[in-house]
Amino acid sequence: MVPVKDYNPVRTTPYVTYGLIVLNVLIFLYEISLPPNALSSFFTEWAVVPEQLSDSFQTGVSTVNIEEWLTLITAQFLHGGILHLGGNMLYLYIFGNNVEEQLGRAKFLFFYLTCGLLANLAQWFFAPESGVPSLGASGAIAGVMGAYIFRFPQVQILTIVPLGPLPLPLRVPAVFYLGFWFLQQAFYGTASLEARTMIGMEGGGIAYWAHAGGFVIGALLGPMLGLFDKADQDPEMPQSPERASDPGSSDG
C-alpha cells in the first residue's frame, strides 16, 4: 500500500519538514553527479558502514575522514536511488508536518535527527560486522511515523492498494496503516537474522531494524518532547480567546 495523503490539516507552515525534504533532494542531486567510483567512496565515507563503526567503537580510531559516529547523522541524508529518495520524502511530507506542528520546529528537528541516529544504531546492533553501507532517511521518518500513530491514531490515510491492473484508493485509519507497516518491518528484521543473504540489509539493501527501531524510538521520544501538549482542535473552528492567549498554543 502506498500512502497518498492524510486528512489531518495543519495550521502552521512546516518549515523544518520542507527544509529536510529540500536538503535530501539537493544531496541526492550531488550524488548522481558523481561517477560510480567516486559515489562508492562517498557512501563509504558518509554512510554508516557497520564494520567500520564497530572498529571505531573498539579502537577509538576512525577509518574515514570524519569521526565515525558522525555517519549516524550524515547517513540520514543519503539515498541509493530515485525510488529510495521519493518513497522516503513522500512519507516525510505526509506525516512530518503534523508531528512538527505538535512538537514545534526546534524540538521536531532534534526529534528527527535523534530518531535517525538511534535507528542507525539499532541496525548496527543486529549486523555489526556488515561491510554494506547503511543509508537513508528511513529510520528518522520511521520515528516520525511512530509518533504519529500514537498522536493521531484515528486520522484517515488515503492509500493506493495495487489490486491487478487497476489501483484501488482506500481510506484506512493511521493506527491500521502504520501498525501494519511496523509489524512488516519487525517481521522482516527478525527474518534477516536467520537469512541475511536473502533478506534485510545484507542482501536486499533494506535496513529493516533501522525502520522498526526508529518507529519504537519515535513512539517513546515524541511524548517526552511534548507530543501531547497541544490539544486537538477542529481546523474549521476559531480559537477561543482563552486558548488564543495561551502562550503554550504557539507553534514554537
What residue type is assigned to position 109 of the chain? L
The burial of 139, by beta-carbon neighbours within 10 Å (0-12 exposed, 13-18 middle, 19 or more buried), is given as buried
Nearest C-alpha neighbor of 141 from the set 90, 188, 79? 90
The residues with which 163 forms a beta bridge, in sequence order, are 166
In a domain, 36, yes or no: yes
Distance CA 157, CA 5 (A): 6
Q: What is the per-residue pLDDT for 65?
A: 63
Local confidence pLDDT in tens for the 252 residues of the chain: 788 999 999 999 999 999 999 999 999 999 999 999 999 999 989 999 889 889 888 887 776 666 888 999 999 999 988 988 998 999 999 999 999 999 999 999 999 999 999 999 988 888 888 888 888 898 999 999 999 999 999 999 999 887 777 788 989 999 988 887 766 665 554 444 443 333 333 444 556 778 888 999 999 999 999 999 877 654 444 444 444 434 444 343
In a domain, 109, yes or no: yes
Distance CA 208, CA 206 (A): 6
In a domain, 252, yes or no: no
Q: What is the per-residue pLDDT for 238?
A: 42
How many domains are contained in the chain?
A: 1
In a domain, 251, yes or no: no
| The three-state (H, E, C) secondary structure of the chain, written as one string | CEEEEECCCCCCCCHHHHHHHHHHHHHHHHHHCCCHHHHHHHHHHHCECHHHHHHHHHHCCCCCCCCHHHHHHHHHHCCCCHHHHHHHHHHHHHHHHHHHHHHCHHHHHHHHHHHHHHHHHHHHHHCCCCCCCECCCHHHHHHHHHHHHHHCCCCEEEEEEEECCEEEEEEEEHHHHHHHHHHHHHHHHHHHHHCCCCCCCCCCCCCHHHHHHHHHHHHHHHHHCCCCCCCCCCCCCCCCHHHHCCHHHCCC
Distance CA 44, CA 35 (A): 14
Q: Structural domain of residue 82, as residue ranges?
A: 2-226
In a domain, 240, yes or no: no
C-alpha cell at 159: 492509500
In a domain, 121, yes or no: yes
In a domain, 238, yes or no: no
Match 580510531 to its residue by C-alpha cell: 61
Q: Can you give the CATH number for the domain in which 7 is found? A: 1.20.1540.10
What residue type is assigned to position 104 of the chain? G
Q: Model-level pTM greater than 0.75?
A: yes
In a domain, 23, yes or no: yes
Residues 6+ apart with CB under 8 A from 183: none
